[in-house]
Chains A and B, each alone.
Chain A
Amino acid sequence: MLRGTPFHPRTAPLNEGTAWRRWAGYLVASAYELQHDREYHAIRGSAALIDVSPLYKYLVRGRDAARLLDHLVTRRVATARVGQVLYTPWCDGSGKVLDDGTIARLAEDTFRLTAAEPNLRWLGDGAAGLDVTIEDVSERTAALALQGPASRAILSQIVDADLSALKYYRITTARLGGSPVTISRTGYTGDLGYEIWLDTGDALTVWDAVVAAGRPYGLVPAGMLALDVARIEAGLLLLEVDYVSARHALIEAQTSSPYELNLGWAVSLEKGEFVGRDALAREQARANGGAAWRFVGLDVEWDSLERRYRDVGLPPTLPAVAWRTSVPLYADGTQVGYATSGCWSPLLKRYLALAHVRGPRAATGSAVEMEVTVEHRRRRAAARVTPLPFFNPERKRA
């Protein structure tokens, strides 16, 4: 009963193991092949095509569109240029993150907001008295992410826009085949890559054109399992996995401020009033350097992990897919935080995790211990706090 995305007629026959997962009420492929490894390596080595249509998308238009967005999100929107894309979180009145996404300035008074969850009511409530219209275009806008080192070469062949001039976090209109699309140089992999936004009616022709152009470059359709590894390497957090939306949190302790999520760079306290500003300013002004929690990278030390396994006579076992559970972290015998995502990075040959760590233990280089279950018993492996992203290739911005 779940919906397929507009690309479903193409993606369904490719899904060898009928391995689907849910995303915002849609079916998306976990992996197309029976193992996701090749899909992951395509992201890093050639190019991968990922269906990201389930994202929520809103068009915000009108004289006060920038004012509305500036009132609602933490980043400064008014000074963004036409063709610029901003990544930003947005908060409730207590400065706790509700959701995060991108805002693309398509024209002087036209913006497209993407979000993980429905935000129509939230946008509408903020718009009272403003000259602005808000339209939920989620269902009529399909989206494809073309990610990887070969993505530019592939896309250049089939669009009429000059992609070499399209800088990181910029967007342009173009024609792809016969279809009008917008192309943003954005993505969820931390690699060179593009996202293509199109009318759902054009979905199949666009898919076919990209796949045909990509074939000589080793383009591979990729599912969520491959994407999950790439986004952890890129240090990109995921709603309801790495943090709980203040909309859903049942207790205050479940909520996070942008500072606690390593998103302080996306908070503009100087831009004037916005929802949650006072609380965020107070948090920043706190004596001990602001946020009580930090969102950090963890590098789980191989030697330590290997020893835990050797103790029981086993070789080290690595996670086959990225995990998404809450795993306790310790230092000096007490719990200092929890990891929320983790994976083995086939590229970096390191065991990575994303984690919430309290206070001084969050400093880069700090030693912590992460719980690992070895032969049904809880053990602790040494890990070190590492700056994010773990992987940040030149080509991403070049």
Chain B
Amino acid sequence: MTYDAIVVGGGHNGLVNAAYLARAGRQVLVLERRERVGGAAVTEEIFPGFKFSVFSYVVSLLRPEIVRDLELPRHGMELLPLESTFVPLPGGDYFATWADPDRTRREVSRHSPRDVEALDEFGRLMHHMAMAVKPMLGLVPPDPTSFSPRNLAGLLRLGRHFRAVGEKHLLALHKLMTMSSADYLDEWFECEPLKATKSASGIIGTFLGPRSPGTAYVLLHHYMGEIDGAFRAWGFARGGTGAVSEAIAAAARARGAEIRTAAPVARVLVTGGRATGVVLESGEELAARAVVSGLDPRRTFLGLVDSPELPDEFVRDIRRYRMRGSSGKVNLALSELPDFTALPGPGAHLRGAISISPSVSYLERAYDDAKYGAYSRRPYLDVVIPSLIDPGMAPPGKHVMSIFVQYAPYHLQDGPWDAAKREAFGDTVVATLAEHAPNLPRAIIGRQVITPADIERTTGLTEGNIFQGELALHQLFFLRPAPAWARYRTPIRRLYQCGSGTHPGGGIMGASGRLAALEMLRDGV
């Protein structure tokens, strides 16, 4: 049989894409290389009884329209709030923000009374910035060089939108687009851990430091996270991020999509400049009237397709497309909760994010190591303990801890990652956290260390870049992943792209998958 569309890669974007195509009545087949769907949004039981969101670990950017259109709550998605941020400091003190605004105000005031007022004003400005930029997340980027009526209409709509944003806010947006997150935050705040923790949002998943220009925008990208209409809300998925993928897969199946796991695609079949199907690694050929790849741009265009089928210039652009791995993960199974010297005992501070980001200089120094090809000796850590929010993730009384680590470069100066380096990296991470929670090492029952090389090997993400390409300004909107090919189409007819390497980018957002599906339907797929 010939499918209407074959989706290569069962990550969340591929699944969203398939669900929308199936919803429109198309015969869709999703092919996933691994034995489970989800890509980087998977839950796995690494140690018996201990479940982990192995890679991506928090949810916020998932588009509300996707949640509604695909009825994800009905298919089992449940989001739980992530309420606080706790930052233990070197001197034995801590900094925190809490779910309750009064409590946050009091805490910030303890460090800087001035910053309490700044926080309100900053929050309001970021709200406006997010309002200005957010519509773009749901928009197919118009091509500024094309004069087709549809493109011009798109540009005009965008122009009108930005005129309505107002001069004051456009100037602020200009700053956000060009400055480093450290410089930007310096204009607002004086409290170091506050600045550092906020600027950390600007460096996640990029190979840049908080003092690198352009990182202020990434800050905004994360600020746009939205749950139930409230900006800046982050949450856990009950059952881990894999449960979100499973819910999307269930929604897709319910609409008639077929999903095959353990079915790695070797190549996309191209006949006469047109995609006609795929060949699996097993040699099986599957025919389709359209093929859409959820893989990253490098893997799609330099792996699935023979390069003679593509224009030279495009191939060069894809080769230049920056996907530098910069982060790793350490997943721990724990016999007991970490006990922080700065705030002993259990408490609300363990139910949110625990961030090792005492100062901007600390983060920048962590980047210095990475610049010269080493993992950070004292890395930035973003720690969550999902079992405190969703007890089903660990056996009763036991806990799972997820530690996001930056920086861990894909290319090490002293040669590729190996088992010894991986374990040494894990030791560094545990030691960094143990400085603040001395009981941690003896509480560890199981440890999974994930380097960028491991991310690449397991999920297929080139260099282990978690966003399928850095969120830098030269790789966003109509430049993502390459000029003139940002509208989910490719130089090969009926071959589409739907991964987060397309606009609007990374995070468990699903927008790329949805927008790609809508464009495909528009093309008559």
| A179 at the B interface (CB under 8 A) | no
**Interface contact B127-A121, CB-CB below 8 Å:** no
Q: Which residues of A contact B103 (CB under 8 A)?
A: 1-2, 25
**Interface contact B117-A25, CB-CB below 8 Å:** no
Given A247-B124, A248-B124, decide whether A120 and B105 contact each other with a Cβ distance below 8 A.
no
Given A25-B102, A118-B105, decide whether A250 and B116 contact each other with a Cβ distance below 8 A.
no
Nearest Cβ on chain B to A160's Cβ, whole angstroms: 34
Nearest Cβ on chain A to B85's Cβ, whole angstroms: 17
Nearest Cβ on chain A to B518's Cβ, whole angstroms: 30
Nearest Cβ on chain A to B75's Cβ, whole angstroms: 34
**Interface contact A25-B116, CB-CB below 8 Å:** no
Nearest Cβ on chain B to A190's Cβ, whole angstroms: 29
For B109, the closest partner residue in chain A by CB is A118
0/1 interface trace, chain A 225-262, chain B, CB 8 Å (1 if under): 00000000000000000000001101000000000000
For B101, the closest partner residue in chain A by CB is A25
Interface residues of A in 13-38 (CB under 8 A from B): 22, 24-25
| B121 at the A interface (CB under 8 A) | yes
Given A121-B114, A124-B114, decide whether A247 and B120 contact each other with a Cβ distance below 8 A.
yes
Q: Which residues of B contact A247 (CB under 8 A)?
A: 117, 120-121, 124
| A119 at the B interface (CB under 8 A) | yes
**Interface contact A120-B102, CB-CB below 8 Å:** no
Interface residues of B in 76-126 (CB under 8 A from A): 100, 102-103, 105-106, 109, 113-118, 120-121, 124
For A119, the closest partner residue in chain B by CB is B117
Interface of A is mostly: loop
Nearest Cβ on chain A to B108's Cβ, whole angstroms: 10
Q: Which residues of B contact A250 (CB under 8 A)?
A: 124, 127-128
Nearest Cβ on chain B to A336's Cβ, whole angstroms: 27
Measured in the bound complex, the distance between the Cα atoms of B118 and A22 in whole Å is 22
- With an 8 Å Cβ cutoff, the count of chain A residues facing the other chain is 17
Given A247-B124, A250-B124, decide whether A122 and B117 contact each other with a Cβ distance below 8 A.
yes
**Interface contact A25-B106, CB-CB below 8 Å:** yes
Q: Which residues of B contact A25 (CB under 8 A)?
A: 102-103, 105-106
**Interface contact B113-A136, CB-CB below 8 Å:** yes
For B105, the closest partner residue in chain A by CB is A25
Measured in the bound complex, the distance between the Cα atoms of B127 and A119 in whole Å is 21
Nearest Cβ on chain B to A226's Cβ, whole angstroms: 23
Nearest Cβ on chain B to A143's Cβ, whole angstroms: 19
Nearest Cβ on chain A to B103's Cβ, whole angstroms: 6
For B103, the closest partner residue in chain A by CB is A1
**Interface contact A118-B116, CB-CB below 8 Å:** yes
For A23, the closest partner residue in chain B by CB is B102
Q: Which of A2, A24, A25, A248 has the most CB of B within 10 A?
A: A25
Q: Which residues of A contact B128 (CB under 8 A)?
A: 250
Given A136-B113, A250-B127, decide whether A121 and B118 contact each other with a Cβ distance below 8 A.
yes
Nearest Cβ on chain A to B231's Cβ, whole angstroms: 11
0/1 interface trace, chain A 45-79, chain B, CB 8 Å (1 if under): 00000000000000000000000000000000000
Nearest Cβ on chain A to B445's Cβ, whole angstroms: 33
Nearest Cβ on chain A to B303's Cβ, whole angstroms: 46
For B114, the closest partner residue in chain A by CB is A121
**Interface contact B102-A118, CB-CB below 8 Å:** no
Nearest Cβ on chain A to B481's Cβ, whole angstroms: 35
**Interface contact B117-A121, CB-CB below 8 Å:** yes
Measured in the bound complex, the distance between the Cα atoms of B182 and A92 in whole Å is 27
Q: Which residues of A contact B116 (CB under 8 A)?
A: 118, 120-121
**Interface contact A118-B127, CB-CB below 8 Å:** no
Given A25-B102, A25-B106, decide whether A120 and B124 contact each other with a Cβ distance below 8 A.
no
**Interface contact A248-B102, CB-CB below 8 Å:** no
Q: Which residues of B contact A22 (CB under 8 A)?
A: 102
Measured in the bound complex, the distance between the Cα atoms of B123 and A250 in whole Å is 10
Nearest Cβ on chain B to A101's Cβ, whole angstroms: 15
**Interface contact B106-A120, CB-CB below 8 Å:** no
Q: Which residues of A contact B100 (CB under 8 A)?
A: 1
Nearest Cβ on chain A to B98's Cβ, whole angstroms: 9
Measured in the bound complex, the distance between the Cα atoms of B346 and A335 in whole Å is 53
Q: Which residues of B contact A120 (CB under 8 A)?
A: 113-114, 116-117
Q: Which residues of A contact B113 (CB under 8 A)?
A: 118, 120-121, 136
Measured in the bound complex, the distance between the Cα atoms of B109 and A28 in whole Å is 20
Measured in the bound complex, the distance between the Cα atoms of B106 and A24 in whole Å is 9
Measured in the bound complex, the distance between the Cα atoms of B115 and A141 in whole Å is 21
Q: Which residues of B contact A248 (CB under 8 A)?
A: 120, 124
Q: Which residues of A contact B115 (CB under 8 A)?
A: 121
0/1 interface trace, chain A 120-147, chain B, CB 8 Å (1 if under): 1110100000000000100000000000
Q: Which of B113, B115, B116, B128 has the most CB of A within 10 A?
A: B113
**Interface contact B117-A118, CB-CB below 8 Å:** yes
Q: Which residues of B contact A124 (CB under 8 A)?
A: 114
Measured in the bound complex, the distance between the Cα atoms of B124 and A1 in whole Å is 26
Measured in the bound complex, the distance between the Cα atoms of B311 and A274 in whole Å is 63
Measured in the bound complex, the distance between the Cα atoms of B240 and A392 in whole Å is 62
0/1 interface trace, chain B 492-516, chain A, CB 8 Å (1 if under): 0000000000000000000000000
Nearest Cβ on chain B to A3's Cβ, whole angstroms: 8
For A26, the closest partner residue in chain B by CB is B102
Q: Which residues of B contact A24 (CB under 8 A)?
A: 102
Nearest Cβ on chain A to B349's Cβ, whole angstroms: 12
CB-defined A-B contacts under 8 Å, sample of 22: A1-B100, A1-B103, A2-B103, A3-B106, A25-B102, A25-B103, A117-B117, A118-B109, A118-B117, A119-B117, A120-B114, A120-B116, A120-B117, A121-B113, A121-B114, A121-B115, A121-B116, A121-B117, A124-B114, A247-B120, A247-B121, A248-B120
- B-side residues, CB < 8 A to A, are 100, 102-103, 105-106, 109, 113-118, 120-121, 124, 127-128
In the complex, besides A118-B113, A118-B117, A247-B117, 15 extra interface pairs with C-beta distance below 8 angstroms are A1-B100, A24-B102, A25-B102, A25-B105, A118-B105, A118-B109, A119-B117, A120-B113, A120-B116, A121-B113, A121-B116, A247-B120, A247-B124, A248-B124, A250-B124
